[in-house]
Structure 1
Amino acid sequence: MSSRFRHHDQLRLFVEIASHASFSEAAEALNMTKGAISYQVKTLETDLGMSLFRRTTRGVALTGEGLRLLAICQPQYDEIESELSALKGIVSRTLTIGVSTYFAARWLSPRLMSFMQDHQSVQLRIQPMVQFSEQELQDVDLAIRWGDGQWRDGIVTPFMPLRSYPVGNAEAAQLVSEIGMESAISRFTLLRDRDDSNAWSEWLRAAGLPRQARRDVLIVPDPNVRVQAVIDGQGIALLDDLVQEELRSTKLYRLSDTTLSDYGYFLYRPLRVAETETVQDFSNWLQLQKSTDP
């Protein structure tokens, strides 16, 4: 077999392996042994003279060279699959969108029908996300993420700059009204989405308040659960205008006018994902939806 065809087979297998978090997972999905997967990867790395994978505590991850190679190969194989489908009379494109259930239910879901009606050839899949970890994002084409947009492992596009502000229940609002936010905040448990989040520290800086020395912090990754935790009086959280219904019904109260101006929702495309026509169509559609009511 010529090296051209051998590399073709190896590169096709590489694209398949790269979609899994570990060689064991890839072996099971591809009906191969883990040893066979490792051998094929090692052979390709030797032929190309570069390392494509690095081992992590949870499995394997692509190196910089691996990410570049995937960005080169995947669009080509996707195009081949698309053309083969067209030859068979099947006109269908798949698109997987990663999003928190909080954003999906409160903003995205009521609008999705218009995209589906205008792009009937696209098979859309909404993938619930919590931590937006490398493993969660493995099969995602595009994600809608909350934060400050400082993620270096993907292509980040500003989307919806919803400013965040502290929110509490009626008892929290009463305490702030009585003694002021500066005194009250030291009595609250601060709810965060993850342990290494800087959001509260940045809000305190913006509000001109001292950093909290106490470690009275509760980690609640799921924003829907975090909203309910605030309602139940487990602490206060930084939320945004997507909780307007709870604010109107006085289940929640805004505790300060100070906001996190740099935070909001961003479109995030993993480096391994090419900017296909389908991804671009959905990104453009999202940007057009920002000014529409659900």
Structure 2
Amino acid sequence: MASLRALHAFALLARHGRASQAAELLGVSPSALSHLMRKLESELGATLVLRDGRGLSLTEEGQRLALGIGDAFERIDEAVDSFKRRGRTELRISTVSTFATRWLIPRLPKFQALQPDVEILLSTSTRVVDLERENFDCAIRLGKGHWPSVEGELLWQEHLAVALSPGLLDPATPLTQETLSGLRLLHSAARRNDWPSWLAHVGLIHPETVSGTLVETRDLAIQAAIAGMGAIVIDRRFVAAEVAAGHLVLPDWPAQDLDTGYWFVRSPLRPQSRPVSAFKAWLLEAAHAE
């Protein structure tokens, strides 16, 4: 029977295509990896890798063996990792980046103090996750709710309010066309409609409605606003700390209520574990308190 260690080394080489990376992952030197390849070739009676000045590459027989092995060693690693975690109480959460960085993470220590045995695994993504098949216990998503095949609880309805550096404007300044036109507008790539929507709501115009400074995320837009690069429209909850610290101000101008909100969602087909139940109760209480 072929050596499992040599087969593992071969599988890593086939997956990553670089001897140095495969050797590092296996915890051996490149020369030791080469020795394992020779050992495997001797055991199987076939040439699996080509050796030249550029390193190692797979032969046709090596490619056939790699196809047969597939992801077997990856699945073994996952099974062992899952077994090692059997004594832990995990809570796997999927959420969107702005909610995670601007609201959830600063408050998570309070939840951890209430549930010290719960190990939190937090992932951020804008894609739709399949809560029935993917390895998430729950998710926080932005939208109108009422998604099929999920159970949802509204955390809060979203709104847009103007925020900017105190050096750009006295927050007591009334909202007029002239005042607004004197400000630069900051846009985030994922929320290009926020400024046009708010301007339509207050019945004013601006030359940078669809132009102006553009950054990738709302978190970057907030940092740019703090630096005095312009004004943003944002949910007040996401800049509460910056306003409290005096880095941003909120003029007494109208806020626009949106028809979207942040929702706690989970699959009703999966058991509601104690960590999920505790997180949901804490999350709803924290959100509604504000």
- State the TM-score, normalized to the length of structure 2: 0.54
Residue 264 (structure 2) pairs with residue 238 (structure 1) = no
Amino acid at match of 1:284: A
Q: Please, what is the CA RMSD of the aligned residues?
A: 4.6
Q: Identify unmatched segments of 5+ residues in structure 1.
A: 1-23, 26-30, 38-80
Counterpart pick for 2:200 among 184, 197, 205: 205
Residue 115 (structure 2) pairs with residue 122 (structure 1) = no
User: How far does the alpha carbon of each residue in 1:200-256 deviate from its partner, in whole angstroms, 9 at most, with x for none?
Assistant: 222122212247675323333433322110122222111214423432443222234
Q: Identify unmatched segments of 5+ residues in structure 2.
A: 1-14, 17-64, 72-78
Local SS of the residue matching 1:228: helix
Counterpart pick for 1:218 among 207, 213, 217: 213
* Distance change (3 Å), C-alpha of 1:257 and 1:268: same
Which residue matches 1:133?
Answer: 127
* Distance change (3 Å), C-alpha of 1:276 and 1:175: closer
CA radius of gyration, larger in: 2
The structural deviation recorded for 1:173 is 1.6
Counterpart pick for 1:142 among 131, 138, 141: 138
Q: Distance in 2 between matches of 1:89 and 1:227?
A: 38
Q: Distance in 2 between matches of 1:200 and 1:154?
A: 33
Q: Distance in 2 between matches of 1:107 and 1:196?
A: 18
* Distance change (3 Å), C-alpha of 1:158 and 1:266: same
* Distance change (3 Å), C-alpha of 1:92 and 1:220: same
User: Are 1:92 and 1:122, in contact at CA under 8 Å, matched by a contact in 2?
Assistant: yes
Q: Distance in 2 between matches of 1:152 and 1:174?
A: 43
Q: Distance in 2 between matches of 1:103 and 1:133?
A: 14
Which residue matches 2:26?
Answer: none
% same residue: 19
User: How far does the alpha carbon of each residue in 1:256-294 deviate from its partner, in whole angstroms, 9 at most, with x for none?
Assistant: 42112226751254779846434344222211223558x
* Distance change (3 Å), C-alpha of 1:97 and 1:216: same
Local SS of the residue matching 1:98: strand
Question: After the TM superposition, which residues 1-294 of structure 1 pair with which residues of structure 2 at under 5 Å, given as runs?
Answer: 33=67, 90-99=86-95, 103-104=99-100, 107-119=103-115, 122-129=118-125, 132-134=126-128, 140-145=136-141, 147-149=142-144, 155=150, 156-161=152-157, 163-174=159-170, 177=173, 180-195=175-190, 197-210=192-205, 214-239=209-234, 240-262=236-258, 266-269=262-265, 274=270, 276-277=272-273, 278-290=275-287
